[in-house]
């Protein structure tokens, strides 16, 4: 059955993509491709779509012929949704996903506190949607199929990778045997166990946490709200933590902390899962609730990353480059941000608009972001699963104080949820010359805002949906931007009011200009720039020196 945007979860998880023999397999010499992406998960698919939208032909290789099974990544953050809007797939994700902004943290029976991840109105996208990973992958695969620049070869397993001066030689195994191909650039999006990482003699280093968690995807009629609920030491699962999320199709995702001594194979069995879910439902809903177990898995995790994400003509993105614990939803979301950072740079370097030095900034920018994610993830993990008696003592002291003292609630850490990194130290930023307030500093990802009718209506980020640089110009004609961009790179002028919501969020006054990179990060801002200011900032943002 053909996959469509309306396919149900069972159809998507059953769907098998056909292996097709390709002419490259019969070529006398290895056929050369400008970009080969390895791994058709959310990260590889997002990258392929972004590059294809920029007009680059992309070859995407995947060792399997199916999409993901089970909920897996589940929580997709606002920034990933905004990137997917640019890739033409955000509406499909949000139409299916369960929106949420609120989290609640319980200790034992008691609600300790609630937090709202998007406390202000005026954003198109919520803080998060919950969506089974297979839906996300299916929508991305459908979007990729709409773009003629993308070729996906299923059941094409990379088994050899030889770096060359001007590219990479790949050995690819298929049901018809092996063949070779060449790539100007290779992007490894092949997951946490990344075979390509191993083939290059690289490793991802960090901390492995000695704890096990059971995921149960349960289909049932339940009346919990669409919120993230986290329990420390709940009465139905004493001394361990539990996390509950609502997903589409009346499927609930429950993560039970099991401890390091749990037997992962035994715990995956339905007869072991049933009493845990039954106890939870009786405690949380006061009655037995009929349910079906959809999927279960037992996982461990590590917080680690590669020393460098750029190795000559091979670039690493997503879990291949960095791994985090699940508390904070920083895995898939940061992987999608990797592709957002990489696609425009790779495109402009392939076109000869920017030098190789631009591509090299992918490494430090996303390594910085990975460190931020790892720091948050490690801190949350240390709080949730304390690994020494004294760490446990302080954790419990914090929870005890949090019942009555608001300050202690700020210390309770059930996961600091994914927000995009502000690239403060990026060499592509032009440091502020003029005085500005607010969060939209050079390096910050552009924040959304509702636009007034006079500004064209709709949402600010939708107006940035093009693939190039953009300048937000507030109550001015933007002549300096147009003149400064001349002969360097096209810049999309977005005319805005200096008295609207966007102006407030960007601290704009009449004459203010905010220059955005193609990945929507601020790279410069001025109160009244000259053409020379704009030209210099664009050259800096393109690593043209």
By CB under 8 A, the count of residues binding another protein is 11
> Which residue in 137, 132, 117, 130 sits closest to 246, CA to CA?
130
Backbone angles phi, psi at 163, to 5 degrees: -65, 140
Measured distance CA(460)–CA(128) in Å, rounded? 19
Q: Does 398 bind another protein (CB under 8 A)?
A: yes
Three-state secondary structure readout of 316-353:
ECHHHCEECCCCCCCCHHHHHHHHHHHHHHHHHHHHCC
Considering the complex, what minimum distance in angstroms separates the CB of residue 107 from another protein?
14
Grouping H, G, I as helix, E, B as strand and the rest as coil, residue 111 is: strand
- How far apart are CB 408 and another protein at their closest, in Å? 6
Stretch that binds another protein, among 17-25, 98-106, 284-292, 400-408 (CB under 8 A): 400-408
Residue 453 lies near another protein (rule: CB under 8 A) = no
**393: contact with another protein by CB under 8 A:** yes
* Closer residue to another protein, CB minimum distance, 118 or 411: 411
When the beta carbons of 227 and 396 are compared against another protein, the nearer one is: 396
Separation CA 371–CA 188 (nearest Å)? 19
| Region from 166-174, 313-321, 394-402, 454-462 binding another protein, contact rule CB under 8 A | 394-402
Gap between the terminal Cα atoms of the chain:
53
Helix, strand, or coil (residue 229): strand
Q: What is d(CA 81, CA 419) in angstroms, rounded to the nearest whole number?
A: 12
Helix, coil or strand: residue 402: helix
Identify which of residues 2 and 389 has a Cβ nearer to another protein in the complex: 389
Among 99, 396, 475, 507, binds another protein (CB under 8 A): 396
Judged by CB, which is closer to another protein: 235, or 386? 386
Segment contacting another protein by CB under 8 A, of 227-235, 388-396, 414-422, 434-442: 388-396
Task: Please say whether the beta carbons of 39 and 58 come within 8 A.
Answer: no
Contacting range for another protein; rule: CB under 8 A; set: 18-26, 403-411, 426-434, 485-493: 403-411
Q: How many alpha carbons fall within 13 Å on the CB side of residue 475?
A: 11
Residue among 127 and 412 whose Cβ is closer to another protein: 412
Apex 236 CA angle, 111 and 72, nearest 5? 85
Q: Which is nearer to another protein, 378 or 398 (by Cβ)?
A: 398
Residue in 16, 239, 274, 394 binding another protein, rule: CB under 8 A: 394
Q: Which is nearer to another protein, 109 or 405 (CB)?
A: 405
Site string for another protein, 405-444 (x = CB under 8 A): x-xx--x---------------------------------
Neighbours of 21 (CB within 10 A): 12
CA distance 112 to 106: 5
The residue (of 260 and 394) whose beta carbon lies closer to another protein is: 394
Instruction: List the Cα angle 315/89/325 in 5-degree steps.
Output: 50
Q: Which residue's entry shows tokens 């850490």? A: 413
Least distance in Å: CB of 393 to another protein?
A: 5
Site stretch for another protein (CB under 8 A), options 132-140, 193-201, 254-262, 397-405: 397-405
**Shortest separation between residue 413's beta carbon and another protein, angstroms:** 13
> Residue 458: left (phi > 0), alpha (psi -120 to 50), or beta?
left
Is 400 among the residues that bind another protein (CB under 8 A)? yes
Nearer to another protein, 351 or 392 (CB): 392
Chain contacts with another protein (rule: CB under 8 A): 393-394, 396-398, 400-401, 405, 407-408, 411
């Amino acid at each position: 059955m053909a996959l469509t945007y309306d396919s149900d979860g069972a159809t998507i998880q059953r769907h098998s993509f056909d292996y097709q023999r390709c002419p490259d397999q019969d070529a006398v010499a290895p056929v050369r491709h400008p970009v080969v992406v390895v791994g058709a998960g959310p990260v590889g698919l997002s990258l392929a779509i972004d590059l294809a939208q920029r007009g680059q032909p992309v070859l995407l290789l995947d060792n399997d012929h199916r999409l993901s099974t089970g909920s897996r990544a589940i929580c997709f953050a606002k920034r990933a949704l905004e990137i997917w809007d640019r890739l033409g797939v955000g509406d499909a994700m949000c139409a299916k996903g369960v929106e949420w902004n609120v989290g609640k943290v319980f200790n034992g029976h008691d609600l300790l506190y609630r937090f709202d991840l998007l406390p202000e109105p005026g954003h198109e996208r919520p803080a998060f949607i919950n969506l089974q990973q297979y839906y996300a992958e299916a929508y991305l695969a459908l979007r990729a199929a709409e773009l003629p620049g993308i070729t996906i070869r299923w059941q094409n397993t990379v088994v050899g990778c030889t770096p060359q001066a001007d590219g990479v030689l790949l050995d690819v195994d298929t049901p018809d045997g092996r063949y070779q191909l060449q790539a100007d650039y290779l992007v490894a999006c092949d997951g946490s166990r990344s075979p390509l990482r191993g083939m290059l003699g690289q490793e991802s280093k960090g901390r492995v946490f000695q704890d096990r968690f059971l995921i149960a995807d349960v289909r049932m009629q339940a009346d919990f709200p669409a919120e993230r609920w986290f329990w420390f030491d709940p009465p139905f699962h004493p001394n361990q933590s539990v996390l509950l999320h609502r997903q589409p199709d009346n499927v609930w995702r429950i993560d039970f902390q099991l401890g390091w001594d749990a037997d992962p194979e035994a715990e995956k069995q339905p007869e072991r899962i049933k009493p845990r879910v039954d106890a939870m439902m009786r405690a949380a809903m006061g009655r037995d609730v009929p349910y079906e177990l959809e999927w279960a898995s037992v996982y461990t995790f590590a917080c680690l990353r590669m020393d460098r994400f750029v190795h000559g003509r091979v670039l690493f993105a997503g879990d291949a480059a960095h791994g985090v614990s699940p508390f904070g939803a920083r895995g898939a979301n940061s992987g999608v941000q990797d592709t957002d950072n990489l696609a425009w740079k790779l495109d402009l370097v392939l076109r000869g608009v920017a030098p190789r030095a631009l591509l090299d900034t992918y490494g430090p920018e996303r390594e910085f972001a990975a460190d931020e994610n790892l720091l948050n993830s490690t801190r949350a993990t240390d709080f949730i699963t304390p690994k020494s008696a004294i760490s446990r003592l302080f954790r419990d002291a914090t929870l005890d104080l949090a019942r009555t003292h608001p300050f202690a609630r700020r210390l309770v850490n059930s996961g600091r949820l994914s927000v995009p990194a502000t690239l403060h130290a990026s060499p592509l930023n032009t440091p502020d010359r003029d005085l500005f307030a607010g969060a939209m500093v050079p390096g910050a990802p552009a924040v959304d805002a509702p636009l007034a009718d006079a500004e064209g209506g709709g949402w600010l980020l939708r107006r940035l949906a093009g693939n190039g640089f953009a300048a937000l110009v507030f109550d001015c004609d933007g002549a300096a931007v147009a003149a400064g961009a001349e002969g360097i790179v096209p810049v999309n002028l977005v005319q805005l009011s200096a008295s609207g919501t966007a102006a407030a969020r960007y601290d704009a006054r009449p004459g203010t200009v905010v220059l955005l990179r193609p990945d929507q990060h601020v790279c410069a801002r001025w109160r009244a720039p000259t053409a020379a200011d704009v030209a210099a900032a664009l050259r800096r943002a393109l690593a043209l020196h």
